[in-house]
Amino acid sequence: MLSRESSATLMSAVAAFIYKEARFQDEHQYEAWEALWTDDGVYWVPANGDDIDPEKQMSIIYDNRSRISLRIKQLLTGKRHTQTPQSRLRRVVSNIELMDEQPGGDISVASNCLVFESSLRDDTVWAARNEYRLRYVDGELRMAYKKVILVNNEKALFTLSFLI
């Protein structure tokens, strides 16, 4: 159990990390966002429920580190049509909470997130519960795991080609 003081320090570091991640995503800073990942990172957006088995069931995104990298490379070509022009984005992150500690020492964090997307098609609002596992690597916080639980993941969704 962390002391009150150290947990407040950790909380502010975690919140700063999550706000920074949100800004990189909103501003399409693809390389900076990719650099937030650890080498074993997993980026997961389930479909049809919150706790499906991604090894057996289809997910909207289930990227290991090399596919995260491929996704970023594709965006960086500037020819990912659904992001040319890029979606205009702003997200609000709140309800950041430190969750139970992970066995490997990773920091478990959860937050709520609301994203406003304006694209050629229309304006779309996305809402999600985000779960993270963060880890200190060389003194910096990094993401080892990010799970984005879209509130409407059971429904038919419009194209989601920005970084959610």
Partner 1 sequence: MNVVPRASQWGELIRPDRVHGSLYSDPAIFEAELQNIWYRTWVYVGHESEVPNANDYVVKSIGPQSVIMTRDEQGKVNLLLNRCSHRGNQVCSYDKGNARSFTCPFHSWTFANDGRLVGYAFPDGYEGQDKSKLALGRVTRVQSYRGFVFGSFAAEGPTLEEHLGGAAETIDRLVRFSPEGEVEVTAGFLKHRVKANWKFIIENECDGYHPAFVHSSIFGVADSAIGKLYGGASTAVTRDYGNGHTEIDLRPEFRKRDAPMSWFGTTEARLPDYTARMKAAYGDQTAREIMIDGSPHVMIFPNLFIAEIQMFVIQPLAVDDSVQHVTALQFKGAPDMNRRLRQQTMGSVGPAGLLLADDSEMYERCHRGVLARNPEWIFLGRGEKRERQDELGFKVGHVTDEIPSRGIWRHYRSLMETR
Which of 6, 7, 12, 57 touches partner 1 by CB under 8 A? 57
What span, in angstroms and rounded, lies between the C-alpha atoms of 111 and 164? 13
Among the listed ranges 10-18, 28-36, 67-75, 92-100, the one in contact with partner 1 (CB under 8 A) is 67-75
**CA–CA distances in Å: residue 101 to residues 9, 56, 87, 112, 132:** 16, 27, 36, 19, 12
Which residue has tokens 């992001």?
83
Among the listed ranges 9-17, 28-36, 70-78, 134-142, the one in contact with partner 1 (CB under 8 A) is 70-78
CB-based contacts of 160: which residues, under 8 Å, 6+ apart? Answer: 45, 60, 126
Q: Does 118 bind partner 1 (CB under 8 A)?
A: no
What span, in angstroms and rounded, lies between the C-alpha atoms of 153 and 113? 14
For residue 36, the minimal CB distance to partner 1 (Å) is 18
What span, in angstroms and rounded, lies between the C-alpha atoms of 133 and 79? 32
Which of 5, 51, 77, 100 touches partner 1 by CB under 8 A? 77
What span, in angstroms and rounded, lies between the C-alpha atoms of 26 and 160? 13
Which of 5, 39, 51, 55 touches partner 1 by CB under 8 A? 55
Q: Does 160 bind partner 1 (CB under 8 A)?
A: yes
Residues that bind partner 1 (CB under 8 A): 45, 47-48, 52, 55-63, 67, 70-71, 73-74, 77-82, 120-122, 154-161, 164
